[in-house]
Structures are given as C-alpha cells and as structure tokens.
Structure 1
Amino acid sequence: MRYEVERKFLVAHAGWRDGVTSKRRLTDGLIGQFASAKVRVRLDEERAWLAVKGGRAGLARPEFEYEIPRADGEAMLGLVCEACLIEKTRHCVPYAGLTWEVDVYDGTLSGMILAEVELKHEAQAIELPPWLGQEVTGDPRFRQSAMLRLSQEAGRTVTLAEVLAARP
C-alpha cells in the first residue's frame, strides 16, 4: 500500500517562478467524500486517473491511484462531478533536493496559490524555500473540497483572507 506524506504551505511571493522546470494543467473532480476519505478523478493534458485517499494520520495517508481512459475521466467530470471541479496549473520547482509543486488555482478558486512537497517519511528534514508562507498542512480550511464549498456558498471566487477567516 502506498502512503502519501506531504506538507502544504501558502506562498508568500512569486520568487518560486524563477525555478519552474515544468508545468501542467489539472482538473480535479470530487466523486465522493466520506468520513476522512475521498475519491476523485483528475485529468491533465494527456491522461486521466482516479485517486482514492484515506484518512490522514499525521502527515501520512493511504493513497491509491488508477489510470483510466481519458474519455472516461472527461465523462466523469461532466456527469458525476458537476459543480465540484477544481482547475489549477501545477508548477514543479526543485529546491534543496526536493521538488515542490506550486498550484495556481483558476476558476472558482482563482487567486489561490499553494505549495506542497512530498516526503519519504514524516521525520524527513527539509529546507524551506524563501518564497513559502504559513504552513497549512492539516488545516481543514485548505482542503480543496473546503475551499470549493466556501466559494460555492459565496457564489463567487473567494480570497485568501476569506479562507483564513473561515471556521476550521
């Protein structure tokens, strides 16, 4: 079984842009959420896959990913996920031996920028890039589903200040 171990941060300034080595457009659709687990479909420019993520224990959670035909992924986004779509561009930024993923959100979450890094284990020491802001690992306000729900309730895009002011 694969475990995802990651930390997530706000981005303080655009200094990360100088280090981008690649980027790709992603569209995520939430298929289902229950207890502390979720199932989502994700598409990039070339492929589609399903991800099943279990509940988080510390920084780690079980994660299962299965590639599916792109046409099936597109159909799921349109027929199953409806208004629960997240659009973002993921930029890969190497720093101090790790690859940081900086997600710049579009659509209903336009203006949000978050950075995350996957680790080998929870105790792994890392050097934080100077462009990082506050750590939001484990903060329920920064789950994609919570930010999307806040935006839907407001009927518009929401600001970082509104997400921070939301009740965790």
Structure 2
Amino acid sequence: MPEEIERKFLLKDDRWRGQVERSLDMAQGYLGNSQQCSIRIRVSGEDANLNIKSATLGIHRQEYDYAIPVAEAREMLDTLADKPLIEKTRHMVRYGEHTWEIDEFYGDNAGLIVAEIELGSADEAFEQPPWLGADVSDDPRYYNVCLVSQPFNAWPENVS
C-alpha cells in the first residue's frame, strides 16, 4: 500500500534561502474531499497529478499519486476545484541525508512558509537544520487541504 510519512515544521528564519537547489511553482486544488480522504489536482510546470490521500491526522498517511494531462488538470482546477486554489513555490533544500521541501505560499495563504521532510519510517532519525522551527505535523491547520477552507490570512492571529 502506498504511504507517506511526512513531518512538517515552521521556520525560525530565512537562512534556508541560501541553500535552495531548485524551486517549482505549483497550483493545486481539492475536490471530492470526505472524512476518509482528500482528492487533489496539482500542476507544477509541465507536470500534473491527481493525488488521493487518507484524511488521517499525523505523520503517516496512505497516498496514491497519478500523472494526468496538464490541460485536463488546469481545466479541473478552473472548473471543479474548491476555491481558493493553493498557490505556492516549493523550494528544495538538501540538509544532511534528506531533501527538505520548503513551501512558500501566496494568495490567501501569503506569509505562510513551512518545511516538510519525507521519511522512510515514523521513527527515522534526521538532522534538524538550524533554521527549523516548531513541529506542526499534528496541527491540521497546516494541511494544504485545510488551507482552502481556512486560509492563513483568515487565522485570528494573522488578521490585523
């Protein structure tokens, strides 16, 4: 069974920016979400995917990912996906034995930046970079699927 084991962190500062190896702009939207799973469409450059992820809290989830035609993905994002879409740049940063994915969000989630690391097992040890902040792996507010209905700029602590 395909699975994802992922930890998610906030960042202390911008020191990671000098270590970026590559960056990808992404747009993604969700459709047909239920208590059991989320269904995501993502476009990144000339690639597009349909992703189904179990709706479980924590670092371990079932995940199924399938390549789809970019034109069809863009059409689904335009016509079927819940709004607002998630817009972000994913920066890849190598630290220790792992590549960190640092997502910098835009639009209704502007100002939010999180770092993710995929692990081979839930208890896998990893070196923590000095720019790494609080672990938010168990906080559903930081799940992309939740950022559609409760965007970062609407969180009480972010409203001016």
Per the TM superposition, whether the score is higher than 0.5 is yes
Equivalents in 2 of 1:100, 1:93: separation in Å?
Answer: 5
Letter in 2 for 1:125: A
Deviations 1:74-128 (A, max 9, x none): 0000010152410000000000110000000011101100000000011100111
5+ long unaligned stretches in structure 2: none
Deviations 1:24-72 (A, max 9, x none): 0011100121114100000001111100001336421111011001000
Instruction: Specify the alignment match of 1:140 in structure 2.
Output: 140
Instruction: Specify the alignment match of 2:77 in structure 1.
Output: 77
Aligned residue runs from structure 1 range 124-163, under 5 A: 124-151=124-151, 157-158=153-154, 161-162=157-158
Residue 143 of structure 1 and its aligned partner are, at CA, apart by 1.5
Equivalents in 2 of 1:13, 1:138: separation in Å?
Answer: 21
Cα distance, 1:22–1:134 mapped onto 2, change above 3 Å: same
Q: Which runs of 4+ in 1 moved over 4 A?
A: none
Cα distance, 1:36–1:82 mapped onto 2, change above 3 Å: closer
Letter in 2 for 1:116: E
Identical columns (%) = 37
Equivalents in 2 of 1:148, 1:35: separation in Å?
Answer: 16
CA RMSD of aligned residues (A): 1.9
Equivalents in 2 of 1:160, 1:46: separation in Å?
Answer: 37
Q: Does 1:34 align with 2:34?
A: yes
- Aligned partner of residue 103 in structure 2, secondary structure: strand
5+ long unaligned stretches in structure 1: 164-168
Letter in 2 for 1:25: D
Instruction: Specify the alignment match of 1:13 in structure 2.
Output: 13
Question: What is the number of residues matched between the two proteins?
Answer: 159
Equivalents in 2 of 1:18, 1:158: separation in Å?
Answer: 30
- Aligned partner of residue 74 in structure 2, secondary structure: helix
Letter in 2 for 1:39: I
- Aligned partner of residue 4 in structure 2, secondary structure: strand
Deviations 1:125-159 (A, max 9, x none): 011111111100021111123233223xxxx9346
- Aligned partner of residue 32 in structure 1, secondary structure: coil
Residue 160 of structure 1 and its aligned partner are, at CA, apart by 8.8
